[in-house]
Structure 1
């Protein structure tokens, strides 16, 4: 792969006044962690004597990134850091990405990172188009679907339709049921019932013209409504269109899943009996959906009854089935049953995975048994089962409840040493914990860690951090974070804008307010109308 360079021109010089992490913040963080490690009276110190060292030592192991991973990190950071929409992105891509570098794995990985880092959808689209125009290799289905997902998540529906039409002309093989599902799901989420039906019609007559729409396409439409828990609309669509599209067990499971996600167990069971009366035979997915519904309500006995029924009718439980029941046992505070189900996994010719461990860890934390949860983390390490986002989220939640800031700092420090970037919900949870407990330096540390890793932190995290900073009159740092969000092509909430406006005026920082308003106005000009309603 070609050498990737780093742009050290005008952008770096312009940001030099506020981008670097202040040395005081770094020193505060190091000092705090050092002090916390010396607090012998804390619960986490007791744990460290018995259980924690092996986990933290394992967490300290940081594998050296491969050259490809390093280049993916670099390009993702360049794209996210590029001032947008002040300057076009394509010239920057031309400077940093030789055409020979545009292999399918590279393109897919960069788009995956852009999706995970909440990049602006137009930036992802520019990169995808660049990869098409400057590579001799055809784009992959995965790259196209990721680009479509990023666009629709930011409600760039016009651009998403244009992309689908373009692919129909140039690469029709990229148009799949999944791409249809991505589009319809986001339209169902952000637009009206009528808009979703109209989009389905447009898919049939324009995007997938010449393809006979049948049960699979109908299932995609139903899933769009069910995934948003819009069961009234889903039922309406089913009643209007099932005579045109033959239904199958998958159709019924989609509707059953919708009732389950809506939290109405009674409605789910009524529909289940309706589908049986219609002659549909329940399969493993049917049982898993019903078991999950009961487990989330704390009705472990009903879930176990369904497990016995599965075995009686020779419908073998899957790892997902057992994992769901372990989680359900935790909700019911029945740790012996959770442990029994967990230990029985190998006896069922199944193998433990991160999901099964996460369910057991969650059950232990619900019962306030942090020691046993840490033991399972050690066991995962021994079995070379990597911690995922759920593992970290579950453990952070447990540490917050059971060992406070000390345990959270220990785990946070080791997570960042492993260069692991948590999911949005974990970032928001950590930011809220840091800011509400007067540890703003840790909130800033988390923010800078994400930005330096090429991520664009979610607006909820910005809301929490700016509110905390402004309450302590740390307006310069709050301003820096706002600028970083805007430069990456993401908007701030109206609440944060008015907070910054009020404080910058009060302290006669009119030049900063003018720059903030200029960037907001510029960004507003390219945001879709539907997205402007929720952000300033």
Structure 2
């Protein structure tokens, strides 16, 4: 589908930059503790135990219900229940009572995973006294249960609300409980500081504790990742060599990224040469940083040439690499070239993703181009079968309102409701307010109830406005229906700015 492009005003580079900084260091993923346990939730035994834990008013009642259920409490079952508790954000104290009760049963020993999951559940609610009690219990039962992964879980939860000093003090306290307290634990500390505090905090703690550990390549990769200062990155790289630690692909990628973000493309190129001398092949991430670097200095054609260079060196670009090149052409207002690259994505056997389309939606939003935005949306859905995300929908609905194109706004809304994409709450804030301004209460009311039927809660501003209009129109049945729908939420009411049911 060809898109007719109109003259575009200047677009700044910053408005098209990704909002989340790229972090290259490998993570000790805790996702297994909080992933969507859909399979487990469908297990009737898991669901039954979960309901007993959450609904029992006392420990005695919980024990009686557990005994009555006659469900054998295996280690695997306990792990699945804890996973569900974590995902559903269930009561941590009741869960701990259940955990302790099972622990006291003769012959039962919790697994290492169960202990880590319990610590994570307690940490979410900042139950630090209970965390240390469980840690001491783990150390007593089997000191090997406290691993670097355990250390990472505890430090991450402490860091959410604690100071750097509290994090470091907790780290030192964990040293007394963890037998294998080595560089892996040190790396967990640095990673936590990078993620939850700042790179400067991580660097300062590194220098104060580095003599107690033997840093490895991952230590320096953590410190290098996301660093903005060339001087600091080069010093860390030199210190890495002073420790006789050979930089790996991740290390080099971090350095390339720093150079590219600081517009030092010549230095970035020299790193590529050094990598090849060390027989380390640059990967897609290496080249994607270079593409972004050329775009930041206003050379989109050089960035596009990197895509060709990648193939020559046996590294096939992925969609993210293409997106980086497309972003550069959007910044330069060369949308024909940008669309040409999007077509090339399909020609090489890949598929444009939602980020690809959002680069154009963002561009069209800032230049107030409704015609091309709506045309691209249809191409996105009909040709590429790509579902928009919340960012796509926000650009489109706000652009619709600027142009007064309510028909397309309602079409977008119905598509969201039918195909379950994007945040209905955020889009409904704009759409319901718009419909109320137009005096189209029937459609505003329909949108509100569609939102509630999908299990998403409207904002207080939307509820307040539509409720006032319902009262003025004397729609008593609609008011009653709204009250009944909102009563399913906590305390059966919404209260904010004087609004209550």
Give the alignment's TM-score, normalised by structure 1: 0.59
Distance 2:398 2:235 in 1: 41
**Alpha carbons of structure 1 residues 178 and 341: separation in structure 2 relative to 1, 3 Å:** farther
Give the superposition deviation at 1:489.
4.1
The aligned residue for residue 217 of structure 2 is 249
Distance 2:179 2:407 in 1: 57
Instruction: Tell me, yes or no, if the aligned pair for 1:331 and 1:366 is still in contact at 8 Å.
Output: no
Q: 2:386 aligns with which of 420, 432, 440?
A: 420
The aligned residue for residue 4 of structure 2 is 43
Distance 1:161 1:204 in 2: 23
The aligned residue for residue 342 of structure 2 is 377
Q: How does 1:319-330 map to 2 (within 5 A)?
A: 319-330=284-295
Residue correspondences, number: 408
Q: 1:283 aligns with which of 226, 235, 248?
A: 248
Q: What secondary structure does 1:421 align onto? A: coil
**Would you say 1:338 and 2:303 are equivalent positions?**
yes
Q: 1:130 aligns with which of 42, 51, 62?
A: 42
Distance 1:410 1:178 in 2: 52
Distance 1:246 1:161 in 2: 39
Q: Deviations over 1:377-423 (max 9, x none)?
A: 33222222122222222233345467922222222113223542223
**Would you say 1:443 and 2:409 are equivalent positions?**
yes
The aligned residue for residue 429 of structure 2 is 463
Q: 2:443 aligns with which of 471, 477, 488?
A: 477
Distance 2:181 2:315 in 1: 38
Q: Deviations over 1:159-184 (max 9, x none)?
A: 99879979997876697999979967
The gaps in structure 1 that reach 5 residues or longer are 1-36, 47-110, 113-120
**Alpha carbons of structure 1 residues 419 and 268: separation in structure 2 relative to 1, 3 Å:** same
Distance 2:410 2:155 in 1: 35
Distance 2:434 2:208 in 1: 51
Q: 2:327 aligns with which of 362, 371, 383?
A: 362
Distance 1:329 1:145 in 2: 48
**Would you say 1:429 and 2:395 are equivalent positions?**
yes
Q: How does 1:94-493 map to 2 (within 5 A)?
A: 128-131=40-43, 133=45, 158=92, 187=157, 191-193=161-163, 197=167, 212=180, 214-228=182-196, 230-231=198-199, 233-235=201-203, 238=206, 246-260=214-228, 268=233, 271-272=236-237, 275-276=240-241, 280-400=245-365, 404-417=369-382, 418-455=384-421, 457=423, 459-493=425-459
**Alpha carbons of structure 1 residues 159 and 456: separation in structure 2 relative to 1, 3 Å:** farther
Q: Deviations over 1:289-343 (max 9, x none)?
A: 2322343454434433433443455443212111211122122211231122111
Give the superposition deviation at 1:196.
9.1
Distance 1:144 1:340 in 2: 52
Q: What secondary structure does 1:259 align onto? A: coil
Moved more, 251-260 or 353-362: 251-260
- Bigger relative CO (Cα 8 Å, ≥ 6 apart): 1
Distance 2:152 2:427 in 1: 26
Distance 1:384 1:146 in 2: 38
Give the superposition deviation at 1:348.
0.9
Q: What secondary structure does 1:330 align onto? A: helix
Pairwise CA RMSD: 5.2
The aligned residue for residue 524 of structure 1 is 490
Distance 2:97 2:37 in 1: 9
**Alpha carbons of structure 1 residues 403 and 468: separation in structure 2 relative to 1, 3 Å:** closer
Q: Deviations over 1:19-46 (max 9, x none)?
A: xxxxxxxxxxxxxxxxxx9xx9x83499
Instruction: Tell me, yes or no, if the aligned pair for 1:299 and 1:332 is still in contact at 8 Å.
Output: no
Distance 2:178 2:492 in 1: 34
Distance 2:439 2:316 in 1: 53
Distance 1:294 1:346 in 2: 23
Instruction: Tell me, yes or no, if the aligned pair for 1:319 and 1:350 is still in contact at 8 Å.
Output: yes
Distance 2:376 2:314 in 1: 33
Distance 1:272 1:496 in 2: 53
Instruction: Tell me, yes or no, if the aligned pair for 1:368 and 1:402 is still in contact at 8 Å.
Output: no
Distance 2:162 2:367 in 1: 44
The aligned residue for residue 71 of structure 2 is none
Give the superposition deviation at 1:357.
1.8
Give the superposition deviation at 1:222.
3.4
Larger Rg: 2
Give the superposition deviation at 1:218.
4.5
Give the superposition deviation at 1:344.
0.8
Give the alignment's TM-score, normalised by structure 2: 0.63
Give the superposition deviation at 1:210.
8.7
